[in-house]
Structure 1
């Protein structure tokens, strides 16, 4: 694994970070009191949403690997929680290559120890911000072959990028670099499924200094403009599946979809 990260790494423990709050919601220990303080004020449904996100990623990544996709660019990786994306896909395609990206230095520290590739495949990690897609693509080209299909994974990321930070432009820039046959895998918190919960979550994150931009179904659908949605289309996290057993029939405030680049 290689990195393009300044040394020494600086971790600001005075401000909450989405990756560490997410880790806390999943029951992890790689977070700080400020992250726990945000997580503790979130409604219980936030724990369900974190789990549902993770389960959707597992199902979507596995399905893509069964379709022969062996290159993955995962942006907004978060603190590694097993099984990680590369473990899922390399369990199906041992030669798969995965490039991970996150903007929290603590993720890099764990990535160096935990994101260890299958011997036949490869993993790489870049500390970078999704708001600078050009830097991510430039680094990813060192490992991934942009002449062949790539799966772009944006799991629970884009709702941390409000409209005034050009969320749609960021995704368009990333997709523009991908060849035909690539796929976008995206999950996104909804503002219209459980509006009161969405407002509560947004307010609590804001108190921790984290801006959120939950979106309606049409707003999430915009990320897939010009792409070909695969079955079952744009649905909630617990409704997306491609093979049995089907996920449990529980409610979800997360929109999910996988779509092909034509």
Structure 2
């Protein structure tokens, strides 16, 4: 049995991969054979695999797609070492290029305040939306954390318990504007509430909001307010982080607020802050620009 057929049978039977995954992995395997050229598969070395990665980069493949192809190649060679007598897996020590972290588009303090202050909170679902987005901006919540919040997570001391990624619990402060918006929403929540529902934010049927619904509602408000630069829930989280860091200068506190496991994830906001600093410097410093 040739190597490709063996790989397909392995993914279909032993691994029970979906048809889409099998198709993608087999395409990756055929691509490797193409990139290796005259080099037989059983003779491929670590140097050969790295040369294949360089070819992918030259063809314009990004770090994510290269990582996926390496994963497929690694699984293929692992099978061939086990079942076809290959001596080693040359992909084991090859890593994909580091993916560039894209900086979030910044949202100014005025833009965030303008959006929140202009939500026309004159009916129950609008009051709910105002409370949701005030809380997202106030406390830097992920959209999953926003819909996962329960009424009982609001604490008497003005904080909120948040269950974040990896089921990690953290406690975040809630600003006065968010507290006021939540207080306005709670009587409407009581009217909509279905028995047994614990969620802080409910849909029109009295059940927990979905992340998709939260995204659709903020898109609705962006259109209603005629925003050229559309908002989405995660941009409110980014805005909270960058504005908090600009005001406090405390990277570690920003990390705690956002619930980042690694401070490296929080450091992207230092770049945003540095961009603001650079712009102010260019305008203000007498030696920033030549006459």
Relative to the length of structure 1, the TM-score reads 0.26
Query: Which is helix-richer, 1 or 2?
Result: 2
Structure whose CA Rg is larger: 2
Query: Which is strand-richer, 1 or 2?
Result: 1
Relative to the length of structure 2, the TM-score reads 0.24
